[in-house]
C-alpha cells in the first residue's frame, strides 16, 4: 500500500474550486457508479453488523458474502475503482456513489475525519485484502471512544498491495462537539448566580419511611410472554412495526432517513427469509408516502433489486394460479427497472419449474407498460424471445401482431417460426401477405419450409404470383425439401395456374417429332417442383406432364414419376400424395 505526502493547506482559490466541483457532482447514474455504490453500501452494512450481532451470526455471514460478491462484480466488471473522500460522501469522478450525513453511521465522515482523501482498488484486489479492509473499518465502527489508532495508521499497518490511499494529517478533537469559551462578563455573572448553597455537599437526611425490598415471583405465563417478546422469530415483526411507527411520526423532510432504515430492514428480512414481510414492508411505504409519489418510486427503484425479486418468487408456491393481491399491487407500481429484472430472472429460468410463475408476474407487471416487453423482445435471444413473445400475446395482442410482422424481416429462426404461428391465426390482409412472403424469403431454410404451405393456404390464388416468382428466383439453389414444399404450395394456391407453369417448364423446346427428341430444358430443381405439385393434381393434363417427366425428365426423377403414374393407374385407392 502506498500513500501520498501530506497535502498543503488549501488556499482560498482552491476552496472556491472545491465548491464549484461539489456543485457539479451528481448522484450515480452510470453502470460503474451504480455498481460502486452497491459495493460501498454492502461494505458499510457488513462493518456495522459487528455492533449488532455476534460475529458467528448468520446475518453477519450473509452480509460479508454480499460485500464480497458486490466488490467482485464492480472490480471484475468495470476495472479499477478510484474513490474521492468528502466529509459526507464518496465520489467516483463526479458521481456520488455514497452519501450518509449521520456522523455515527457515515463511512465517508470517518475516512475524511481521519485524513483519508482518496481510496483506490486495483482490478485484481484479492479477497484477503478486502477482508482486512473490512476488519479495519469494523474496528472503527465498534470503538467506543476510539483511543486506538486512526484509520490512516491502521490502513498503513495493513500492508496492502492492491488497495492504496492518499491522506493528509487528520484532526480528531477530544470531543466531537466542543463548547465555545464563555464571554468573561457572562462568566462573572454565572459565578454569582449559580453558586451552590453552603449545605450542598452535606449527607442526605435519613428517610424514616424506608421499607425492606420485597421480590415478587414471576409466573410462568408472564415469563413466557416476556421470552416471546425477545425471541428471534419475533424480531422481524418488531422491525416492521418500527418502520410503520417511524413513517407515521416522521415529517416529510425526515422521510428519506426513515426510508433508508426501511431498506436496512429489508436486508434483514432477506437474510431471515421472510419474503411475506418484505411485501408488507413495501405496502407500508406506499401507504405512508403515497402510491404514486416520487419518494415511493425512488424507494421501489432501489428496493426491488434482483435479490429481493428472487426471494419473492422463491417464496411463492410453484403451482400458484393467481398473483397474491399485495404482490400484484406492488408490481403495478414497480418501475421499469424492476420489470427488466423480472425479465432477467425469466431468461435465467428458461423452461424451468418457475417459468410459468415468472411469466404470470411479468404479465401483471407489463399490463400497464407493454412497450417495456416489446423493447426487451427486440434484443432477447432464442428461447427467451419466444417466451417473451407468447407473454406479449396475453398482455397486448395488437403489440404482439406488430412484433410478429417486425420479426419476419429479421431475427432468429425460433422467433420467425413463432411469428409464423401468430400470423397463421390472424385475419388475412395485404400486410399479413407481405409478412408471410418475407418468411418465404427467410435466410433460414426451416422457416421457408414452414412458411410456404401457410402462405399458400391463407392466400390462395392471390399469392400465386409471389410464390411463382420465389421459385423462379431461387430455382438454382432449391434443395430437395424446399422444391417439394414449393411445388405443393403452388398446386394448393391455384391448381390451374400451377399446371400452366409446369407446362412452361417441362414441355420440350420446339414442336413436332424434333421437339420430342430434344431433352427437357427445365433444370432438375424445377422438375422436382413440378413433380411434387403434380402428385396432388388430377386430370389428363397432369397425367400428360407426369408421363413427360417419366420419359424425358432427370434420371433421378424418372422412377418417382413412373411410381406416381403406376399408382394412378391402380385407381383412387392406390394414389399417392
pLDDT digits (tens, 9 = 90+) for 54-100: 677 777 888 888 899 999 999 999 999 999 999 889 999 888 999 88
- For residue 246, is it within any domain? no
Could you tell me how many residues make up the chain?
577
In a domain, 154, yes or no: yes
Grid cell at residue 561: 414419376
CA distance 571 to 31: 74
Spatial distance between the Cα atoms of 534 and 506, rounded to a whole number of angstroms:
12
Give the Cα separation of 348 and 354 in Å (integer). Answer: 10
User: Range of 117's domain?
Assistant: 14-167
Residue 319 falls inside a structural domain:
no
Residue 11 is classified by DSSP as P
Cell of 324: 397474491
What does the alpha-carbon distance between residue 332 and residue 324 come to, in Å, rounded to a whole number? Answer: 12
DSSP string, 154-215: HHHHHT-SSEEEEE------SSSSPPPPPPHHHHHHHHHHHPPPTTTTSPPPP-TT-----P
In a domain, 506, yes or no: no
- Structural domain count of the chain: 1
pLDDT in tens, 115-144: 899 999 999 899 999 988 988 888 766 554
Q: Please indicate, yes or no, if residue 134 is contained in any of the structural domains.
A: yes
pLDDT digits (tens, 9 = 90+) for 164-180: 989 886 554 444 444 45
Whole-number average pLDDT of the chain: 77
Residue 152 lies in a domain: yes
144 domain-assigned: yes
> Is 301 a domain residue?
no
Give pLDDT, residue 520: 58
Q: What are phi and psi of 135, to 5 degrees?
A: -65, -40
Of the pLDDT bands very low, low, confident and very high (cuts 50, 70, 90), residue 565 is: confident
- The string of pLDDT tens digits covering residues 11-54 is 334 333 443 344 344 565 688 988 898 899 889 888 887 766 66
pLDDT tens column, 510-557 = 444 444 444 556 788 888 888 888 888 888 888 888 888 888 888 888
Q: Residue 281: what pLDDT?
A: 81
Rounded CA-CA distance 496/504 in Å is 13
Amino acid at each position: 500500500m502506498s500513500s501520498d505526502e501530506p497535502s498543503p493547506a488549501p488556499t482560498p482559490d482552491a476552496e472556491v474550486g472545491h465548491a464549484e466541483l461539489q456543485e457539479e457532482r451528481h448522484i450515480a447514474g452510470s453502470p460503474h457508479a451504480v455498481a460502486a455504490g452497491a459495493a460501498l453500501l454492502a461494505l458499510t452494512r457488513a462493518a456495522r453488523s459487528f455492533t449488532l450481532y455476534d460475529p458467528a451470526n448468520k446475518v453477519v455471514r450473509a452480509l460479508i458474502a454480499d460485500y464480497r460478491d458486490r466488490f467482485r462484480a464492480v472490480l471484475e466488471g468495470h476495472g479499477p475503482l478510484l474513490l474521492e473522500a468528502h466529509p459526507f460522501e464518496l465520489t467516483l469522478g463526479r458521481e456520488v456513489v455514497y452519501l450518509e450525513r449521520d456522523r455515527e453511521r457515515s463511512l465517508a465522515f470517518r475516512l475524511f475525519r481521519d485524513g483519508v482523501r482518496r481510496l483506490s482498488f486495483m482490478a485484481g484486489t484479492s479477497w484477503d485484502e478486502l477482508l482486512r479492509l473490512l476488519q479495519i473499518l469494523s474496528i472503527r465502527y465498534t470503538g467506543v471512544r476510539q483511543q486506538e489508532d486512526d484509520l490512516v495508521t491502521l490502513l498503513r499497518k495493513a500492508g496492502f498491495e492492491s488497495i492504496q490511499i492518499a491522506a493528509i494529517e487528520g484532526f480528531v478533537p477530544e470531543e466531537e462537539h466542543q463548547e465555545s469559551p464563555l464571554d468573561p462578563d457572562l462568566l462573572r455573572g454565572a459565578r454569582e448566580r449559580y453558586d451552590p448553597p453552603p449545605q450542598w455537599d452535606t449527607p442526605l437526611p435519613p428517610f424514616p419511611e424506608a421499607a425492606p425490598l420485597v421480590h415478587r415471583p414471576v409466573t410462568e405465563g408472564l415469563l413466557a410472554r416476556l421470552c416471546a417478546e425477545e425471541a428471534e422469530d419475533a424480531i422481524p415483526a418488531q422491525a416492521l412495526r418500527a418502520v410503520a411507527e417511524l413513517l407515521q411520526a416522521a415529517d416529510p423532510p425526515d422521510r428519506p432517513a426513515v426510508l433508508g432504515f426501511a431498506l436496512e430492514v429489508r436486508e434483514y428480512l432477506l437474510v431471515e427469509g421472510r419474503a411475506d414481510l418484505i411485501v408488507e414492508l413495501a405496502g407500508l411505504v406506499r401507504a405512508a408516502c403515497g402510491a404514486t409519489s416520487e419518494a415511493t418510486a425512488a424507494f421501489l427503484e432501489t428496493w426491488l433489486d434482483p435479490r429481493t425479486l428472487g426471494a419473492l418468487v422463491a417464496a411463492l408456491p410453484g403451482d400458484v394460479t393467481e398473483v397474491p393481491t399485495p404482490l400484484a399491487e406492488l408490481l403495478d407500481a414497480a418501475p421499469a427497472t424492476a420489470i427488466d429484472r423480472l425479465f432477467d430472472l425469466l431468461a435465467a429460468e428458461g423452461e424451468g419449474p418457475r417459468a410459468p410463475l415468472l411469466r404470470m408476474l411479468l404479465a401483471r407487471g407489463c399490463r400497464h407498460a407493454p412497450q417495456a416487453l416489446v423493447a426487451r423482445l427486440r434484443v432477447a435471444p432464442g428461447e427467451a424471445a419466444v417466451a417473451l413473445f407468447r407473454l406479449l400475446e396475453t398482455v397486448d395482442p395488437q403489440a404482439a401482431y406488430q412484433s410478429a410482422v417486425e420479426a419476419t424481416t429479421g431475427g432468429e429462426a425460433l422467433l420467425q417460426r413463432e411469428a409464423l404461428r401468430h400470423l397463421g391465426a390472424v385475419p388475412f390482409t395485404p400486410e399479413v401477405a407481405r409478412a408471410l412472403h418475407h418468411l418465404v424469403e427467410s435466410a433460414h431454410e426451416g422457416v421457408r419450409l414452414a412458411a410456404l404451405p401457410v402462405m399458400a393456404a391463407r392466400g390462395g390464388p392471390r399469392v400465386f404470383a409471389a410464390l411463382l416468382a420465389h421459385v423462379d428466383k431461387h430455382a438454382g439453389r432449391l434443395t430437395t425439401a424446399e422444391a417439394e414444399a414449393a411445388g405443393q404450395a403452388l398446386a394448393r394456391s391455384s391448381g390451374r395456374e400451377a399446371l400452366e407453369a409446369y407446362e412452361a417448364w417441362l414441355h420440350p423446346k420446339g414442336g413436332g417429332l424434333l421437339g420430342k427428341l430434344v431433352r427437357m430444358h427445365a433444370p432438375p430443381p424445377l422438375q422436382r417442383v413440378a413433380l411434387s405439385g403434380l402428385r396432388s393434381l388430377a386430370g389428363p393434363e397432369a397425367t400428360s406432364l407426369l408421363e413427360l417427366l417419366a420419359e424425358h425428365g432427370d434420371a433421378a426423377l424418372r422412377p418417382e414419376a413412373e411410381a406416381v403414374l403406376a399408382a394412378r393407374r391402380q385407381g383412387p385407392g392406390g394414389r399417392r400424395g
